[in-house]
Amino acid sequence: MVAAFWRTNLTLRQLAPLFGVSKSAADRIVSHLGPALALQPRRRFRKETVLIVDGTLVPTRDRTVAASSKNYRYSTNHQVVIDADTRLVVAVGKPLPGNRNDCRAWQDSGAKAAVGTTPTVIADGGYRGTGLTIPHYRRHKNEELPAWKEEHNASHRKVRARVEHTFARMKSWKILRDCRLRGDGVHHAMLGIARLHNLTLTG
């Protein structure tokens, strides 16, 4: 029932009859089992592990945890960290209002603390000043990057695209396109879908 709720984003009033229960029973089941499916962050990493971090916006109707963001909708910002080799999600930060930039959200969401001292974490240019591995950038508009930097940036983009592919797979779960859950509901849904995503990849 919880998986069907996240996948379809039906209201509980629509979902309950499909499972032969009342709306209130469906509400209790989702509220109880949703957090139980949450992804547990990985605690240890190999020395050679390369991680990728990026933020994604989840439109969220609860305005106490959301804010109007660059997509002009009330959203929450979720920092997601994946393993570059396995493409498994290893950590998801706590949701922050959608108007928080990724640089700040990396710190405030707990994603940075979850990663710890992992040797290499790559990110896009929005994480400037965080100590993460980001693309080379022009310090003024007339500056030309040398060929080796352009090549490095191309390689960086190719690897970093893996986290975008992860977002695309996770957002096939329709609840992440318009979340009606309140309070911690959007966080529990994000963690649960991350775990189900990992189970799909590992078979």
Which of 95, 116, 121, 105 shows the shortest CA–CA distance to 42?
116
Q: Which H or E run contains 54?
A: strand 50-59
Domain coordinates of the chain in residue numbers? 1-36, 40-202
Structure tokens at 47: 């020395």
Q: Which residue type does 123 have? A: A
The residues facing 54 across adjacent strands are 80
**Looking at the DSSP assignment, which residues form a beta bridge with residue 122?**
52, 133
- Residue 45 has a pLDDT of 87
Q: Are 60 and 66 in contact (CB under 8 A)?
A: yes
What is the sign, positive or negative, of the torsion defined by CA atoms of 81, 54, 198, 173? Answer: positive
Q: DSSP letter for 112, please.
A: H
Distance of CA 180 to the CA centre of its chain: 17
Burial grade of 144 (CB within 10 A; 0-12, 13-18, 19 or more): exposed
Phi, psi torsion values for 79, nearest 5 degrees: -90, 120
Question: Is the confidence at residue 116, as pLDDT, over 90?
Answer: no
pLDDT tens-place string over residues 159-179? 999 999 999 999 999 999 999
State pLDDT tens for residues 12-60.
Answer: 999 999 999 999 999 999 999 999 999 998 888 888 899 999 999 999 9
Q: Which fold has domain 40-202?
A: Nucleotidyltransferase; domain 5 (3.30.420)
Q: What are the tokens at 135?
A: 């693309």
Phi, psi of 145 (to 5 degrees): -75, 140
pLDDT of residue 91 exceeding 80, the answer is: yes
